[in-house]
């Protein structure tokens, strides 16, 4: 699988990234063997970039991902996790964590902390859960309500860790484009993990963030290319950004599926290839919870997508004419 430099850093990521929220029991339980098999299938498919976070399953995702990666050659893959939420032990009998989206016991509570000390502790705690020797990329995770502290305290600490060689790259991961654009303007981040804002149904990342990233040589990893499900399988009841999709978006997704089908392209393949039209995009990240999903994502990314498909989508008003045409799969 092709790899691309992540902005001006020395880190190179595979075009497809494994998003490990699913093996942290996002929405529904996954067994330890299923999680291990999902990571193994991704590896066998050529994936060499794996992303996790303390938030995912109250540390379960990090523990499972670390266990699955531990026997693999460390220099052959890139690992990212996130800072901003510390995990503190909770009182016994706290029920489950489904209110936060994860089917795990509520053994811990999340504490927002974008202080310098919090960043150091978060990295140390993550290394302990992962059981690995290093983290390659650290993202500031969802600092929406904590922008000041993230810019003034967390970012400088990540910069120091990068200078010390503890981290290979640093960035910000969010599901909005405005604040990451500010980070690009005001800091020396290497990367942005942008979720759901550069897809076949939502191109807000193109307004400012992606052009700015290109000018500043910041690498962009695009998450949420299926917009939480609608672009994977559009049908009544499908979700867009984790809510029931509005009727107009469902109709648009069904039209996209029809046109893609007329060109012999599964909608999932077009959704995965679309972000690579922009030169700042280095990788697409897909949340994966099973071996079948891992293999499907890799196959869909490599599925041929004729250039004529993008032209027809623009002609029919299903894509703005201004979006750059995706490059062919290597």
Count how many residues are written for the chain: 330
56 is catalytic: yes
Cα–Cα distance measured from residue 230 to residue 240, given in angstroms and rounded to the nearest whole number? 6
Q: How many CB atoms lie within 10 A of CB 129?
A: 20
310 near 271, Cβ under 8 Å? no
DSSP class of residue 138? E
Degrees to nearest 5, angle at CA 155 with 56 and 7: 85
DSSP class of residue 200? S
Residue 67: exposed, middle, or buried by beta-carbon count in 10 A (0-12, 13-18, 19+)?
Answer: middle
Tokens of 282: 């280095």
210 near 280, Cβ under 8 Å? yes
281 near 245, Cβ under 8 Å? no
- DSSP assignment of 249-315: HHHHHHHHHHHHHHTT--HHHHHHHGGGGSTTEEEEEEE--SHHHHHHHHHHHHS---HHHHHHHHH
DSSP class of residue 277? G
Identify the active-site residue in 56, 139, 155, 198: 56
Cα–Cα distance measured from residue 171 to residue 148, given in angstroms and rounded to the nearest whole number? 16
Q: Where are the alpha helices (DSSP H) in 145-266?
A: 147-149, 155-163, 178-186, 209-216, 247-262
Positions marked active-site: 56
């Amino acid at each position: 699988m092709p790899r691309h430099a992540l902005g001006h850093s020395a880190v190179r990521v595979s075009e497809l990234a494994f998003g490990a929220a699913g093996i942290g029991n996002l929405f529904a339980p996954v067994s330890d063997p299923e999680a291990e098999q999902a990571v193994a299938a991704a590896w066998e498919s050529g994936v060499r970039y794996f992303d996790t976070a303390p938030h995912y399953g109250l540390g379960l995702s990090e523990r499972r991902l670390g266990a699955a990666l531990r026997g693999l050659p460390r220099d052959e893959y890139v690992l990212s996790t996130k800072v901003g939420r510390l995990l503190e032990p909770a009182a016994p009998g706290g029920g489950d964590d489904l209110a936060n989206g994860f089917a795990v016991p509520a053994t811990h509570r999340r504490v927002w902390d974008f202080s310098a000390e919090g960043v150091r502790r978060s990295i140390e705690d993550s290394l302990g859960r992962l059981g690995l020797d290093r983290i390659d990329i650290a993202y500031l995770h969802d600092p929406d309500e904590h922008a000041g502290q993230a810019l003034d305290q967390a970012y400088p600490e990540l910069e120091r860790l990068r200078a010390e060689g503890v981290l290979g790259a640093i960035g910000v991961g969010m599901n909005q484009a405005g604040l990451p654009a500010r980070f690009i303007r005001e800091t020396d981040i290497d990367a942005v993990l942008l979720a759901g804002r550069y897809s076949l149904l939502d191109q807000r990342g193109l307004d400012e963030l992606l052009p700015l990233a290109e000018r500043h040589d910041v690498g962009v990893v695009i998450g949420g290319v299926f917009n939480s499900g609608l672009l994977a399988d559009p049908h009544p009841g499908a979700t867009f950004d984790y809510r029931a999709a509005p009727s107009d978006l469902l109709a648009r997704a069904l039209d996209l599926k029809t046109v893609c089908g007329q060109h012999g392209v599964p909608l999932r393949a077009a959704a995965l290839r679309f972000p690579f039209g922009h030169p700042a995009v280095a990788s697409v990240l897909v949340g994966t919870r099973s071996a079948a999903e891992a293999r499907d994502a890799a196959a869909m990314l490599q599925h041929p997508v004729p250039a004529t498909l993008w032209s027809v989508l623009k002609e029919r008003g299903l894509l703005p004419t201004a979006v750059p045409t995706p490059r062919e799969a290597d």
